[in-house]
Structure 1
Amino acid sequence: MNNYTNEANKINNKTNNISKITKAFQNKKAFIGFLTAGDPNKEKTVEYVLAMAEAGADIVEIGIPFSDPIAEGPVIQEANTRALSKNLNTDDVFDIVKEIRKKTDIPLAFLTYINPIFYYGYERFFKKCKEVDVNGIIIPDLPFEEKNEIKEITEKYYVDLISLIAPTSKDRIKMIAKESTGFIYLVSSMGVTGMRNKIKTDLKEIISEIRGVSNTPIAVGFGINTPEQVKKISQISEGAIVGSAIVKIIAEHGVNAKKPIIDYVSKMKKATK
């Protein structure tokens, strides 16, 4: 068994409640899929998360729709707009998770921005995460230096605060990696999310630097959309994250996206082996 240790695990182990996020990386390479909650509707979001689980996804990230998703490219921005046009709110997203939890215990992580969490109330938000069994949180616009604003609360409710490391992190890489929990989200490319033909960043160098100070699993995201890319990423890291390609399938097929999602995620998961 891989000996992954991090702050969240130390806390969780006190209650013999090992993080679901951590378990997803034990003895295998993880495939992590993403979709935007409420696109095309609440019921289909439940169906499509279950479809990803059926197809072999190890973790699913659920995006909470937000009006200003600064880290997202056009594909996911448009998904946010479609969901918000239906007046989807944060309570609706928690209701979606409740329905998902009736049929699967796949690890789930929210991807959102600090404003919706602040507006909802930090304590209220993370207490609700624990109640519905959301296991991790990714907040692209929360700088590492400001994470103490919520760190104590996320630990209180056993939600892994997942750190992002980008090619521009440079001198901050080791500092971020040392305090990482759940997994490290390694951003493959400069810019926003979206499908890319080539990953030009020297990921091996960044991963080596992370490995010097941390054993937290590393999953690479931003731009990944082909089995070939997933295979290469899986050879140097513990996981691959795919978002825009799945969201694009949903945009193209709408309420009939279940089979295309299963077919796509199945191919991507096989490429991790």
Structure 2
Amino acid sequence: MVGLMIETRIDRQFSKLKAEGRPALVTFITAGDPDLAASQAILDALPEAGSDVIELGMPFSDPMAEGVPIQLATQRSLAHGHTMDKTLQMVRDFRKKDDETPIVLMGYYNPIYVRGSAAFVKEAREAGVDGLIVVDVPAEADDELCIPAIEGGVNFIRLTAPTTDDKRLPTVLKNTSGFVYYVSVTGVTGAAAADSESVSKAVKLIKSHSDLPVAVGFGIKTAEQAEEIGKYADGVVVGSILVEAIRKSLDENGKATNQTQAAVTDLVSSLRVGVEKARK
């Protein structure tokens, strides 16, 4: 494995939470949804609402792994002219107020490829990005982005799934850092949540191959689900329900209202209560 030369905010956060005996609440929003100003306000408010790690979606025109809620969020963002430059600026602006909460950029390789992997990693790290989740770069192509990210001081977080077996896991985990993201169900984001028994078995399997924290996502929508999954995982990832909350808060013209930020932060706060109850 290519080793990180530095400790990242992700490493520090999971170590801190492990000492506290509770899982991390990992929250996802799409950058620029529903517009840049509203999205920045939501991003800035997430830590106080209860988010321990933030995944910030990089809008892309062909989000193949996403369900309808995140597809629509991406469309709203792109319709307002959102770009990668604006995503990175959102992180810079966030860092003016918060230098502790980890931010992970999540999305697809195309917008990174056109900038050049090494150049993108350098710019992302300087902006304050701590990790990358890029769902369409396989482990067999680690030289493409994973290794440049690690060498640039940015965690590269891999996805595993119910279909990732003992034989495949070592390949997937070889250069993974920060944490492992276990996709608890097959299919797209926002699908039904997995049962706790299958999650427990999957986390144990992953931990038999890696010392990294394991965060579990896809389909978690309630505080009760967060509590149950949090009993077995080091992190609980919530995304589709948050971007759906944004959609439902918009006016008839699809514009943000004075309820948009609260729609997300109130939900994050309730999910945090669930995670707190999962203390080990």
Q: 2:235 & 2:109 partners in 1: Cα distance?
A: 25
1:8 is displaced (CA, Å) by 4.7
1:199 is displaced (CA, Å) by 3.8
Deviations 1:104-158 (A, max 9, x none): 1211000010111101211221111111110000011111111221233112321
Work out which of the residue numbers 120, 128, 134 in structure 1 matches 2:123.
Answer: 128
Look up the match of 1:164: 159
1:201 is displaced (CA, Å) by 7.5
Look up the match of 1:101: 95
Work out which of the residue numbers 42, 60, 63 in structure 2 matches 1:66.
Answer: 60
1:78 is displaced (CA, Å) by 0.7
Provide closer, same or farther for how the CA distance between residues 31 and 185 of structure 1 changes in structure 2, counting only shifts above 3 A: same
1:92 is displaced (CA, Å) by 1.1
Look up the match of 1:20: 9
How many residue pairs were aligned? Answer: 262
1:259 is displaced (CA, Å) by 1.6
Does the residue aligned with 2:25 lie in a helix, a strand or coil? strand
Does the residue aligned with 1:93 lie in a helix, a strand or coil? helix
Equivalence map 1:232-247=2 (5 Å): 232-247=228-243
Deviations 1:68-125 (A, max 9, x none): 1111000000111111112211111111111111111211000010111101211221
Matched, 1:261 2:261: no
Work out which of the residue numbers 217, 240, 243 in structure 2 matches 1:221.
Answer: 217
2:60–2:107: 8 Å Cα contact kept in structure 1?
A: yes
Look up the match of 2:253: none
Letter in 2 for 1:87: G
Provide closer, same or farther for how the CA distance between residues 179 and 197 of structure 1 changes in structure 2, counting only shifts above 3 A: closer
Quote the RMSD (CA, aligned, Å): 1.7
Q: Gaps spanning 5+ residues in structure 1: where?
A: 1-5, 13-17
TM-score under structure 1 length normalisation: 0.91
1:196 is displaced (CA, Å) by 2.3
Q: 2:235 & 2:243 partners in 1: Cα distance?
A: 19
Percent identical: 34
